[in-house]
Chain A
Amino acid sequence: MTGTIDFDELVRQCKKKSVVAQHKLYKMLAPKLFGVCLRYAGNRTEAEDILQDGFVKIFTKIGQFDFKGSFEGWARRVMVNCALSQYRRESRLYAVDDIAEYDTQLSPDDVLSVISADELMQMVQQLTPQYRTVFNLYAIEGFSHQEISKMLNITEGTSKSNLSRARCLLQEKVEAVYGRRRSNV
């Protein structure tokens, strides 16, 4: 035993529906994918539901994975799609009034040195579902407004205005916490 696992072999075993392989794959990917689910969900329970649905989908659709590109990337996309279908069931996206685009003067490195990932996660979870979804897709997953408009069946303008709102709210939260921490030093 070297401790290294041939990942492709593990995926092949999962294609044959080996429960042992499925559990191994789950243990390797679940913490990472749970991080994705938490970003799209409003709370932990919702995130657990998305993770469960997502993994069942990963295991039932694993036959479609053709070893082009990374498996983790593929699994991540399945998980994001699950989060989106959960979201579509619950709410609709509305256009919001445009607001002036402005950006924080704070440097990301400075902010990340005083605000933890868990705190950032809480800020994202406090957003309304529509702001949260667009922000995740654009800012973190890196989709364009055009792609987002197709995924969520909305106009590009709606996607843009929801992103601006989300940024504005997050900026307020980040600057408030950052300011408090700095003045305490």
Chain B
Amino acid sequence: MTTNNIDKIFRNGLENHEAEVPESVWQNIEQQMSGRPSNRRIWLVAASVALLIGASAVWMTTGGSQPVTPTAGTTVDTTAAPQPAAAQIDYAPNYADSAVFEGK
């Protein structure tokens, strides 16, 4: 065993040092032990599923627009609508417009 004073200071001070553990650690251990995916992984999977659905929706609407169908037409209209409206507010801000937004 060493007789160095610095070693002794830290050994005596820290060898049996205890610290409060946050609750989340046990929850993570329990999850890992039971083979259940962690919250982090659940979010990751949910995010990729959402991305996949979003991507396929875009693909279906754009890909399906070649033979023009009424549904494809309406979706394009609704997504395109807010842009000019927002631009209009930028150029000509008036009380009537803001009143509409506040009223909602």
Q: Which residues on A are within 8 Å of B, measured CB to CB?
A: 19, 22-23, 26, 30-32, 34-35, 38-39, 48, 51-52, 55-56, 59-60, 103-108, 111-112, 115, 117, 120-121, 124, 135, 138-140, 142, 167, 170-171, 174
Contacts and interface: CB of A to CB of B under 8 A. Distances in A.
Interface in B1-36: 1-2, 4-22, 24-26, 28-30, 32-33
Dominant secondary structure of chain A at its interface with chain B: helix
Interface of B: 1-2, 4-22, 24-26, 28-30, 32-33
A98 to B, nearest CB: 16
Contact of B26 (A23, A35, A135, A138): A23
A117 B28 CA distance: 28
Contact of A117 (B17, B24, B30): B17
A185 B12 CA distance: 24
B7 A48 contact: no
Contact of A34 (B5, B12, B18, B28): B18
Contact of A108 (B2, B8, B18): B8
Contacts of A55: 25, 29
A34 B29 contact: no
Contacts, number: 100
B14 A34 contact: no
B32 to A, nearest CB: 5
Contacts of B20: 31, 34
A14 to B, nearest CB: 11
B33 A121 contact: no
A48 B26 contact: no
A31 B28 contact: no
